[in-house]
Amino acid sequence: MFDTRHLARFQQAFLGVVTGPPPADQAMRVHHDTWFFGLIEALRGTYPVTEAMISPDAFKALCRDYIRKHPLGTPCLNAYGDSMAAFLRNRDPAWLADLAAFEWALSVAHHADDAAPSRFEDLLAPDGVCALHPSTQVLWLEYDVMQMHTASDRMPAPLAQSILVGRTPGDAVIWLPLSVLEAEFVARIGLHGSLFAVLEHMMPDDKEMPILQALLARLVQNGLLISF
pLDDT digits (tens, 9 = 90+) for 144-190: 888 887 765 567 778 889 999 999 999 999 999 999 999 999 999 98
Rounded to whole angstroms, how far apart are CA atoms 178 and 139? Answer: 10
Is the pLDDT confidence value at 111 over 60? yes
Is the pLDDT confidence value at 16 over 80? no
What's the alpha-carbon Rg for the chain, to the nearest Å? 22
Is the pLDDT confidence value at 8 over 70? no
Specify whether the CB–CB gap between 44 and 107 falls below 8 A: no
Specify whether the CB–CB gap between 195 and 130 falls below 8 A: yes
Write the DSSP assignment of 182-219 as a string of letters: HHHHHHHHHHH--HHHHHHHH---TTHHHHHHHHHHHH
pLDDT of residue 68: 86
- 20-34, 38-52, 53-67, 114-128: which range is least confident on average? 20-34
Query: Are 74 and 117 within one domain?
Result: no
Query: Are 50 and 131 within one domain?
Result: no
Is the pLDDT confidence value at 49 over 60? yes
Residue ranges making up the domain that contains 216: 112-228
> Residue 101 — pLDDT band, cuts 50, 70, 90?
very high
Query: Are 145 and 219 within one domain?
Result: yes
In a domain, 102, yes or no: no
| Strands 225-227 and 137-143, bridge-based pairing | unpaired
**Which residues on adjacent β-strands are paired with residue 162?**
140, 178
Average pLDDT of the residues in 44-69: 93
Query: Are 59 and 3 within one domain?
Result: yes
CATH number of the domain enclosing 226: 3.90.930.50
Q: What pTM was estimated for this model as a whole?
A: 0.84
> Residue 106 — pLDDT band, cuts 50, 70, 90?
very high
pLDDT of residue 180: 95
Query: Are 132 and 46 within one domain?
Result: no
* Number of C-beta neighbours around residue 140 at 10 A: 12
In a domain, 107, yes or no: no
Which of 58, 81, 104 is the C-terminal boundary of a domain?
81
Is the pLDDT confidence value at 35 over 50? yes
> Residue 133 — pLDDT band, cuts 50, 70, 90?
very high
In a domain, 101, yes or no: no
Find the Cα–Cα–Cα–Cα dihedral 25, 26, 27, 30, rounded to 10°: 120
Nearest to 109 by CA among 81, 136, 143, 77: 136
In a domain, 94, yes or no: no
